[in-house]
Amino acid sequence: MHLNHDTDSMLSVRFATLTNREKEILNLIFEEKTSKTIAIQLSISNRTVDRHRENLIAKFGVKNTVGLIKTCHPIFSNKNEPIYDKNHYKLTKNG
């Protein structure tokens, strides 16, 4: 899936507005982790994970988690695309 420049720029702008924790949770959602698994891994409550997921859905202007994944797919699509590096809290190239 190739995005046009405007869509790609919009995605980058929206991604830049995310908190570090939201980026971390988005990464884990994309890895198909459940809220319970994310909560255990990050030592937070299920409700906190769900609240972050709700914030992500709102920030990207989608209706649900499926829409979130479809919209953010270019961020995580392959090794040549930008991914979230939880150790640096920024977009990096996977190498």
Alpha carbon distance 61, 40 (integer Å): 27
- Encode pLDDT of 6-56 as tens digits: 466 788 888 889 999 999 999 999 999 999 999 999 999 999 999 999 999
* Host H or E run for residue 70: helix 65-76
Q: Name which of 2-6, 60-64, 84-88 the model is least confident about.
A: 2-6
**29 burial type by CB count under 10 A (0-12 exposed, 13-18 middle, 19+ buried):** buried
Instruction: Tell me phi and psi for residue 93, to 5 degrees.
Output: -90, 135
